[in-house]
């Protein structure tokens, strides 16, 4: 089932260019044509199957079980002929049928053998079987050079035998005439020639009446007459009759062979679809390998896009050819974060981010692998709407703004929870304040319809709206405030400055003109934009600081691990040395005792005292060992007991602490606020005045913009003059 995605979306996102690049990898022209006609689908099961099959084919490029060649010849011209009674197929058609059948049989056998490696590709072969009768039937009639075999029929064998004998006779009789007339000096120096595929004598014009035969022509000057000898002429007539018989017999054989294959028409049609499908999958797999595409996880339960390191495939390939870097983006859209409002300076990569999301979605829904990291998540949309690029309609004589309003009208008609919308420079083309207000209410409508989307804008009111609505978020393309060069990194959670005046100064606009421009607009807007720019700068510094701290922390962890390992090794060595020293000392003491007992024995030569002393020594050693082991057990038990007591004490303290927190948790004290009070948020510096209080919420006017804030997040700001 194909989606009803507008052609404008395909054009805006350069989808056709992706198909053209993918089509280059197809082996057959039919495959190239089929890829160029691909349309995104909304059938989740079909999309998943296509992506799995492409992913499996791509994996075959890097393992030993490489899928066999699937190249095939088109049989589309023979399908109608097989439906017509008494029609005859050409020899080339039969050869193509045999070649395609051989390719199909090889593929099916391979997929049966390696179905564990390629389960989805194996499923594609379930509808077609190995065919063993087609190739032998063709090879019995046609040889590998594309000629009809002599033994294709008994009658053909007989005709060709006669033809062979007759050609021998013709050659013999011509050579006899050639020798005869050459000896009589009737022939020119060239002696013979070929006219109308027949050997003729080159007779001198003056002797033409002396040579019996049929005149077949003459030279340009008329000095030579080409004559076929009489006997050869009669034999050639007989040869033509046999050749006609041969042609008729071949036609009869091919007719019978065509009739034999008429019942195979459904098989050949199925075979054609199977091989064409393989060519399309192969081309997609090759393209996927070129752009480092993968099959991401598809969320079937809810709408979610979570792309990690997503590349724009066309930009990636263009930059590779020019040896330039391509910057990937991390993009996240889900039920809790439905709309992203991207702001920031021009040439910072905002439009490319939109196009990346849209183009990857179209590719995914066409069964093409997308260039993202492995842990990325995607989903399927029924409709993808875009408003990107130069939107002036010359044909309809519409201005940019009128054209965009027509687009918005279409968006409002079609937009729902199964829609992905992508709008570049939202609200432009009219008065900034009026156009911004209209853009705001349209965006609110998209929000209420639970559609997912990305927009780029320079309007402050849309940035403010993104902070007020819980399931809409600001984002900005990072920009180096010192060099004024784009960083091409999307950061979620904060609006971006347009760096209008900074970029103007960098591009050489006089400083006094920039200052005059600043005076022309409201101070609040300049301060608002400057604040955003400052926040971006601080964020960049924090990111750099965080990265350096992480590096230092990782180095410190490595060093501490190394130190701990060295300490552990030293400790184990010291303990082993101590054990060895104690053992040696013990052996020395025992040796001295044995030496004393031995000396006494040598002096008195009495065995009984010797044995009794030795037994006493052994018993003493055993008793010492038993005491030592019991002491060790006792100390270990005491250690365990102490550890258990300590753990129980700590658990008791934690439980007491939790109970205390529950009991002593202070209740929030609300300050009575009224309209006109100067207030600020607890964690903020900006001061505003309360315009309206309604249902524990206040409308706070900050001058440049208004926003709705809960009363419990506000604190009153005392007036210094009143204090005095």
CATH number of 298-520: 3.40.50.300
Of 86-95, 390-399, 583-592, 630-639, where does the model show the most confidence? 86-95
Beta strands 452-456; 339-343: pairing state: parallel
pTM for this prediction = 0.67
The CATH fold assigned to 151-253 is: MutS, DNA mismatch repair protein; Chain A, domain 3 (1.10.1420)
Q: What's the CA dihedral at 212, 216, 218, 220 to 10 degrees? A: 180
Which range (211-220, 344-353, 444-453, 562-571) has the least confidence? Answer: 344-353
Q: What length is written for the chain?
A: 724
Instruction: Judge whether residue 694 has pLDDT over 70.
Output: yes
Cα angle 476, 478, 480 (rounded to 5 degrees) comes to 145
The span from the CA of 517 to the CA of 323, in Å, is: 40
Q: What's the CA dihedral at 270, 272, 274, 280 to 10 degrees? A: -150
Query: Is the fold of 24-147+260-291 the same as that of 151-253?
Result: yes
Instruction: Judge whether residue 395 has pLDDT over 90.
Output: no
In the CATH hierarchy, which top-level class contains the domain 24-147+260-291?
mainly alpha
pLDDT tens column, 447-479:
999 999 999 888 888 888 888 888 898 888 776
Task: Report the first-to-last Cα separation within the chain, whole angstroms.
Answer: 76
Element housing 590 (H / E): helix 523-604
Mean residue pLDDT of the chain comes to: 82
Nearest to 471 by CA among 336, 306, 331: 336
pLDDT, mean of residues 599-624: 74
pLDDT at 642: 75
Cα angle 696, 698, 701 (rounded to 5 degrees) comes to 175
Q: In what order do the strands lie in the sheet with 688-694?
A: 706-710, 697-701, 688-694, 678-681, 714-716
Give per-residue burial for 349-359: e unless 16+ CB within 10 Å, then b.
Answer: bbbbbbbbbbb
The span from the CA of 267 to the CA of 103, in Å, is: 14
> What is the share, in percent, of the chain residues with pLDDT greater than 70?
83
pLDDT at 548: 77
pLDDT at 552: 80
pLDDT at 660: 59
> What is the share, in percent, of the chain residues with pLDDT greater than 90?
37
pLDDT at 520: 64
pLDDT, mean of residues 150-170: 91
pLDDT at 499: 56
pLDDT at 370: 95
Long-range contacts of 116-123 (CB under 8 A, 24+ apart): 117/56, 117/59, 117/60, 117/63, 117/65, 118/56, 118/57, 118/60, 118/67, 119/56, 120/49, 120/52, 120/53, 120/56, 121/53, 121/56, 121/57, 121/67, 121/281, 123/49
Q: What is the largest CA-CA distance in the chain?
A: 157
Alpha-helical regions (H) of 449-496 = 460-468
Band (pLDDT 50/70/90 cuts) for residue 208 is: confident
Beta carbons of 596 and 610 less than 8 angstroms apart: no
pLDDT at 262: 93
**Tokens for 296?**
């991401």
Instruction: Judge whether residue 240 has pLDDT over 60.
Output: yes
Task: Give me the residue label for tokens 């990305």.
Answer: 454
Which range (55-69, 364-378, 430-444) has the least confidence? Answer: 430-444
The span from the CA of 278 to the CA of 103, in Å, is: 11
Instruction: Judge whether residue 669 has pLDDT over 50.
Output: no
**83 exposure class (CB count in 10 Å sphere: 0-12, 13-18, 19+):** exposed
Domain residue spans in the chain?
24-147+260-291, 151-253, 298-520, 552-660, 678-723
* Better-predicted residue by pLDDT, 271 or 645: 271
Nearest to 334 by CA among 291, 360, 304: 304
Instruction: Judge whether residue 718 has pLDDT over 70.
Output: no
Distance, C-alpha 310 to centroid of its chain: 9
Q: In what order do the strands lie in the sheet with 187-195?
A: 187-195, 198-204, 224-229, 213-218
pLDDT at 722: 41
Instruction: Judge whether residue 661 has pLDDT over 50.
Output: yes
pLDDT, mean of residues 658-663: 56
pLDDT at 131: 92
Instruction: Judge whether residue 486 has pLDDT over 60.
Output: yes
Instruction: Judge whether residue 432 has pLDDT over 90.
Output: no
* Better-predicted residue by pLDDT, 685 or 35: 35
Instruction: Judge whether residue 435 has pLDDT over 70.
Output: yes
Instruction: Judge whether residue 158 has pLDDT over 80.
Output: yes
- What are the angstrom distances between the C-alpha of 54 and each of 59, 72, 234, 314, 357? 9, 19, 67, 20, 21
pLDDT at 671: 62
Element housing 656 (H / E): helix 607-664
pLDDT at 506: 58
* Better-predicted residue by pLDDT, 427 or 91: 91
pLDDT at 531: 56
pLDDT at 667: 44
Work out whether the CA dihedral 368, 369, 371, 374 comes out positive or negative.
positive
Kindly report the number of other CB atoms within 10 A of residue 607's CB atom: 9
* Better-predicted residue by pLDDT, 699 or 480: 699
**Tokens for 130?**
């190995």
Beta carbons of 125 and 107 less than 8 angstroms apart: yes
**Tokens for 636?**
């270990």
Instruction: Judge whether residue 709 has pLDDT over 70.
Output: yes
Instruction: Judge whether residue 141 has pLDDT over 50.
Output: yes
pLDDT at 36: 94
């Amino acid at each position: 089932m194909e989606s009803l995605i507008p052609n404008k979306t395909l054009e805006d996102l350069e989808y056709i260019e992706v198909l053209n690049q993918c089509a280059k990898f197809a082996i057959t022209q039919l495959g190239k044509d089929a890829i160029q006609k691909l349309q995104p689908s909304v059938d989740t099961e079909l999309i998943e199957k296509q992506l799995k099959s492409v992913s499996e084919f791509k994996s075959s490029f890097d393992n030993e079980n490489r899928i066999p060649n699937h190249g095939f010849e088109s049989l589309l011209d023979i399908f109608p002929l097989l439906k017509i009674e008494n029609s005859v197929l050409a020899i080339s058609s039969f050869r193509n049928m045999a070649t395609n059948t051989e390719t199909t049989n090889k593929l099916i056998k391979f997929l049966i053998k390696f179905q564990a490696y390629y389960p989805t590709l194996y499923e594609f072969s379930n509808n077609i079987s190995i065919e063993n009768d087609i190739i032998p039937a063709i090879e019995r009639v046609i040889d590998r050079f594309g000629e009809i075999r002599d033994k294709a029929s008994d009658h053909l064998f007989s005709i060709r035998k006669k033809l062979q004998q007759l050609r021998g006779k013709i050659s013999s009789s011509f050579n006899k005439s050639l020798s005869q007339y050459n000896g009589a000096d009737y022939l020119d120096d060239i002696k013979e020639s070929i006219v109308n595929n027949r050997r003729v004598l080159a007779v001198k014009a003056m002797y033409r009446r002396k040579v019996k035969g049929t005149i077949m022509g003459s030279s340009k000057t008329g000095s030579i007459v080409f004559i076929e000898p009489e006997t050869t002429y009669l034999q050639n007539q007989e040869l033509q009759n046999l050749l006609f018989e041969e042609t008729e017999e071949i036609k009869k054989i091919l007719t019978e062979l065509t009739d034999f294959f008429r019942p195979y028409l459904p098989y050949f049609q199925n075979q054609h679809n199977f091989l064409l499908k393989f060519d399309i999958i192969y081309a997609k797999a090759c393209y996927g390998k070129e752009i480092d595409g993968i099959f991401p996880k598809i969320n079937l339960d809810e709408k979610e896009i979570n792309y990690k390191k997503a590349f724009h495939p066309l930009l990636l390939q263009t930059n590779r050819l020019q040896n330039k870097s391509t910057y990937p983006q991390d993009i996240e859209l889900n039920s809790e974060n439905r709309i992203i409002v991207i702001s920031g300076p021009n040439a910072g990569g905002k439009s490319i981010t939109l196009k990346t999301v849209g183009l990857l979605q179209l590719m995914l829904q066409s069964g093409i692998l997308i260039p993202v990291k492995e842990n990325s998540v995607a989903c399927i949309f029924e409709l993808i709407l875009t408003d990107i690029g130069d939107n002036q309609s010359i044909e309809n004589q519409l201005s940019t703004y009128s054209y965009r309003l027509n687009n918005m009208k279409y968006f409002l008609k079609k937009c729902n929870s199964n829609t992905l919308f992508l709008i570049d420079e939202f609200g432009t083309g009219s008065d900034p304040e009026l156009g911004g207000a209209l853009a705001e209410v349209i965006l609110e409508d998209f929000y209420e319809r639970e559609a997912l989307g990305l927009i780029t804008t320079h309007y402050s009111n849309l940035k403010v709206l993104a902070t007020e609505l819980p399931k809409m978020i600001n984002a900005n393309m990072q920009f180096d405030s010192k060099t004024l060069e784009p960083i091409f990194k999307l950061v979620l959670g904060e609006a971006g400055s347009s760096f209008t005046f900074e970029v103007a100064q960098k591009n050489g606009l006089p400083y006094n003109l920039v200052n005059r421009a600043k005076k022309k607009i409201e101070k609040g807007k300049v301060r608002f934009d400057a604040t955003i720019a400052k926040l971006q700068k601080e964020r960049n510094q924090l990111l750099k600081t965080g990265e350096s701290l992480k590096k230092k922390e990782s180095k410190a962890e490595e060093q501490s691990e190394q130190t701990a390992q060295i300490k552990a090794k030293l400790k184990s060595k010291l303990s082993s040395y101590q054990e060895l020293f104690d053992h040696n000392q013990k052996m020395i003491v025992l040796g001295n005792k044995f030496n004393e007992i031995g000396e006494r024995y040598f002096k008195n030569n009495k065995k009984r005292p010797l044995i009794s002393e030795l037994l006493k020594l052994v018993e003493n050693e055993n008793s010492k060992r038993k005491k030592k082991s019991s002491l060790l057990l006792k100390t270990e038990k005491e250690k365990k007991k102490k550890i258990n007591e300590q753990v129980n004490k700590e658990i008791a303290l934690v439980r007491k602490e939790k109970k205390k927190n529950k009991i002593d948790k202070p209740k929030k004290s609300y300050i009575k606020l009224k309209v006109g009070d100067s207030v600020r948020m607890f964690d903020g510096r900006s001061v505003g005045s309360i315009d309206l209080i309604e249902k524990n919420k206040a409308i706070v006017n900050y001058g440049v913009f208004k926003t709705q804030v809960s009363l419990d997040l506000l604190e009153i700001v005392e007036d210094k003059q009143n204090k005095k």
